[in-house]
Structure 1
């Protein structure tokens, strides 16, 4: 698997799994009915550095890196990750995460924060295995289609020095 900076021509391969994941309404706080142009801006907008996980000629996952805060807290990164559900369970998410963490460190971020991780999201196990800690949970604010109202975790990890 190759992880590289995403290109505009990757979007037509990212969009189908982006739509599928967001429409499921289980892991992201975006509107499940987000139209494609808005989704494109959310995922590949100018403030984001977007990555593609490529297997052969196929993009099977993607992530982005962005400043989480500004001003005196500008050294804290944020990120989001998606793996095509048809390719889940093969290490793509972990590989993307390790790549994005290394990239964040290399450009000078000293920490990463996830602002809204749905507490029932299986990725919570991945994030904790990669050193993220749950620093707080906003209780019962996410309307999960199967579990009802569940909390959103705020997760944090120090990145150390480059």
Structure 2
């Protein structure tokens, strides 16, 4: 598996990952009715941020976007988001993307990385982030309307760099 910068030719496969994740409405706070155009505008990061893909040959296994969490006085903290193709889950793709994002932020001398809205019901993501050095610094109760579990908390997670 190789993690590399997103290329325009990757979008068709990235959209095939993003679309079902967004439509499921069980992990991301994106509008499940978001169009392909809207998704592309949200997912493809402008510099100094970056969007990457994890690939095996020509197949996109997962994708991530990394960048500055907040502008101005908050610009010393990075953020990132990750999506993995259903067939590639449980194979280390998410772990590799998280490690890539952390290293990306370290190279750019960010002080830390913050995730603003991790659904507490997304146990695999929460567990992964905890394993990679993040802590839950707070939870907004009932802030995420999960389609099966109802309203669940959204964690704010942080890792110092």
Please report the TM-score for the alignment, with normalisation by the length of structure 1.
0.95
Any idea what the Cα deviations from partners look like across 1:38-82, whole Å, max 9, x if unmatched? Answer: 000100042531011001110110001110012222110010000
The worse-fitting range, judged by mean Cα deviation, of 141-150 and 44-53 is 44-53
**What SS does the aligned partner of 1:103 have?**
helix
Q: CA deviation at 1:114?
A: 0.2
Corresponding position of 2:151: 149
Structure 2 CA distance for aligned equivalents of residues 8 and 56 of structure 1: 16
Q: CA deviation at 1:157?
A: 0.4
Whether 1:126 and 2:131 are equivalent positions in the alignment is: no
Query: Which runs of 5 or more structure 1 residues have no equivalent in the other structure?
Result: none
Whether 1:77 and 2:78 are equivalent positions in the alignment is: yes
Corresponding position of 1:106: 107
Instruction: Give the alignment's Cα RMSD to 1 decimal.
Output: 0.9
Structure 1 CA distance for aligned equivalents of residues 36 and 109 of structure 2: 32
Q: Which runs of 4+ in 1 moved over 6 A?
A: none
Please report the TM-score for the alignment, with normalisation by the length of structure 2.
0.96
Whether 1:95 and 2:96 are equivalent positions in the alignment is: yes
| Count of matched residue positions in the alignment of Structure 1 and Structure 2 | 159
Corresponding position of 2:118: 117
